[in-house]
Structure 1
């Protein structure tokens, strides 16, 4: 028993020592001049979307079929959850800042537009192939097994719903050279006019899809303004936060826009599908808050453990984003083997459901971890065929890229 206990203690101590070494390795490999607040904001944006989906997306088992529901429809007083976890504007803000900064650096190095775009698109789109392949096989198996068509449609729609974001983000990234000097007020004006025509004059609902590009271009253009140095003063953050919050409150209170910043099944109007003026003004408030948080985040990221966790989240951002819905559905499907479980298969219409759903979150995390273990290599890309890069090369990789410092970038003994 003493030998077994001693072995266990030594193993635990070795693992802890290895973790500490990795954490401090990432810290040493990160250039001093790196703005860690950018990485922290990107990680918070991705994790906010994931937690938001896990909290407000319910798959209800009813008569052998699954259909989507939302606790926000049955309990509207939970609407502030959507204000906290709908963080896509922050992601587009950071994306615009990083892309314009990266493109300027590429131009200075003499890199062509095609080379720059290919490198950025590779990291963005490589993980998509794995998602599409798995769900093509899963859909075929479900149809062959005679699964309910409504259930299949629900599952596939949820699994592939993150792809709309990537299409828009990829389009804006490709257009970055044209957007480096764009004033965010121009796309904001487009969104305003589209909504006036749609809701004020009874225009076609299809016109709203113009806002899919224009709406997310607003925070992306703000990111470009950040790169130009126009948002460095705290006043800019306060103006965006205050102006966006007041405008959103006016639109919700007097113009009839939904208070929820995420879509609710069965609702007549969604603020996200496509984006409305209220979603854009709310995004302006979020961007203002993000800008105000930069300095506190920079101080927080001086802690090696927090920085290592942030670097890991950024390294796996697309894998986490693309597979979080699949993780939710995998847990839901496996749970059906044990019957109709509260918080997983029941109607989201009570505080009991909310408490049960919160209790399921660690299980969703475990399922997402398994997906990460299986598919994260798609995001990291192919390994070098020969040799191990020197410490200088690894540190240079962290410095030159606009992505986060990564565990691979840490120096090794």
Structure 2
């Protein structure tokens, strides 16, 4: 096909926009941090889209997982269960931000309000839409099983926000806490639960302690304790070997996500295996920092990562809704493979891969409709990208304060 001015125009336009974002970014900004956060969020999204099936059975929808029928696909969960990396990056950013706020004379209340408002503004839109959707479903005669299934999927990301918000609020107390302390708590909880036949409810202690491990690892990163490659290799090899031992000889599940019908879930609540696996992932993330910094020197790559970070909570909160909207709309055409069928074979996997771009398009529609809740109200008369405004507010003193924290 002959190239015309019309077909050549979009690419230079994208490059010019990317160049403006790149130029507006302070040189002292560690772009690897943003890249790791974007990869962690996208990993969770893709993981959910791959292992969550909504099976149509008559007029009812229920959840199923290909991991129930094909347990040998467990390595998929090893690749896409990336929440530990997100918590590590969150701990690093929060402790650095708090140190910067203190250096500027800011109060804890103002700092916490700024951080939590960014987390919870998008929640308002999700709750509003799903309240209306629930009423419509019930009035339309949908079964309670279907409504429960959809609500559980739509609102399940909120547990993550509540835990993350609690850890963020405790950042001043956690800034110098060693990750070994919460890791010891997780170890003893599992020892009592599984080794001594203790109560199952005790595992919910790990909902805080388990995610506190990577969060305080991020604080150690801020303190400069993880800069050498040796730290990354210790976490990667130690975490991987320990996880393999726990799965192979201690009876922990191989899947790092919950599997319907399984007696034990590594994630709900977190087990020792999930935590040690998270340490291995964090080690790999630390070892990738230099390569990510080099990759982020490319303006287009950096612009993409910056935009994902600006809408990280919107993407996270709405990705399950995108899956469900696609599934519900697809029912108009009947039971479609990879969308409404039981995930019990490689045919389902192949069909599901073909649906991923559709989920992405629907998520893009959700983003267009709701990302404004995350970014907040623009300043009066301000038309610049929030990427540019946020980066201009970053001062060299922030990096200095963070290094000294």
Q: CA deviation at 1:305?
A: 0.9
**Residues of 2 paired with 1:389 and 1:362: CA distance?**
30
> What is the rounded CA distance, in whole Å, between the counterparts of 1:398 and 1:110 in structure 2?
15
Q: 2:112 matched to 1:117? A: yes
Separation in 2, partners of 1:279, 1:47: 19
Structure-2 residue corresponding to 1:26:
21
TM-score (norm 1): 0.93
**Is the 8 Å Cα contact of residues 335 and 341 (structure 1) preserved in structure 2?**
yes
Shift of 1:126: 0.4
Q: For residues 389 and 146 of structure 1, do their structure 2 counterparts lie closer, same or farther at Cα, with a shift above 3 Å needed?
A: closer
Shift in Å, 1:233:
0.6
Instruction: Tell me, yes or no, if structure 1 residue 72 matches structure 2 residue 71.
Output: no
8 Å Cα contact 2:25-2:392 kept in structure 1? no
Question: Is residue 155 of structure 2 the alignment partner of residue 160 of structure 1?
Answer: yes
Contact 2:94/2:168 (<8 A) preserved: yes
Residue of structure 2 equivalent to 1:314 = 309
**1:350 matched to which residue of 2?**
345
- Measure how far apart 1:146 and its partner are: 1.1
Q: CA deviation at 1:15?
A: 3.2
Shift of 1:20: 1.7
CA contact (8 A) 1:29 1:398 kept: no
* Displacement of 1:31: 1.0
Secondary structure in 2 aligned to 1:66? Answer: strand
Q: Distance in 1 between matches of 2:396 and 2:205?
A: 32
Give ranges in structure 2 of 5+ residues lacking alignment. Answer: 399-405
Match of residue 195 from structure 2: 200
> Aligned partners of 1:98, 1:402: CA distance in 2, in Å?
15
Q: 1:360 to 1:402 in 2, by over 3 A?
A: farther
Structure 1 gaps of 5+ residues are 404-413
Q: Which residue of 2 aligns with 1:180?
A: 175
Shift of 1:18: 2.4
Aligned-residue offset at 1:10:
4.3
Q: Does the CA contact (< 8 Å) of 1:320 and 1:368 recur in 2?
A: yes
Aligned to 2:48: 53
Cα RMSD after superposing both structures: 2.0
CA distance in 1, matches of 2:222, 2:378: 32
- Whether 1:397 aligns to 2:392 is yes
Q: Structure 1 pair 210/22, CA: closer, same or farther in 2 (3 Å)?
A: same
Alpha-carbon separation, structure 1, partners of 2:14 and 2:252: 49
Asked if the contact 1:162–1:322 (Cα under 8 Å) also holds between the matched residues in 2, the reply is yes
Shift of 1:21: 1.3
Shift of 1:394: 3.2
Residues 128, 322 of structure 1: 8 Å contact kept: yes
TM superposition shift of 1:398? 5.3
Local SS of the residue matching 2:127: helix
Matches of residues 157-306 of structure 1 in structure 2 within 5 Å? 157-306=152-301
Give the 3 Å change call, closer, same or farther, for CA 326–401 of structure 1 in structure 2. farther
Instruction: Give 1:13 deviation, angstroms.
Output: 3.8
- Contact kept in structure 2, 1:29 and 1:395, CA below 8 Å: no
SS in structure 2 at match of 1:163: helix
User: Residues 183 and 209 of structure 2 are in contact (CA less than 8 Å); yes or no, is this contact kept in structure 1?
Assistant: yes
Give me the whole-angstrom Cα distance separating, in 1, the residues matched to 2:262 and 2:390. Answer: 50
Equivalent-residue separation in structure 2 for 1:161 and 1:401 (angstroms) = 38
Displacement of 1:260 in angstroms is 0.2
1:103 aligns with 2:98: yes
> TM-score, with normalisation over the residues of structure 2?
0.95
> Which digits, 9 at most, give the CA deviation of each residue in 1:104-144, with x for residues without a partner?
00000000000000000111110000000000000011011
1:30–1:399 contact (8 Å) kept in structure 2: no
Residue 148 (str. 1) matches residue 148 (str. 2): no
Partner of 2:77: 82
1:399 Cα deviation from its structure 2 partner = 2.4
Secondary structure of the residue aligned to 1:345 is coil
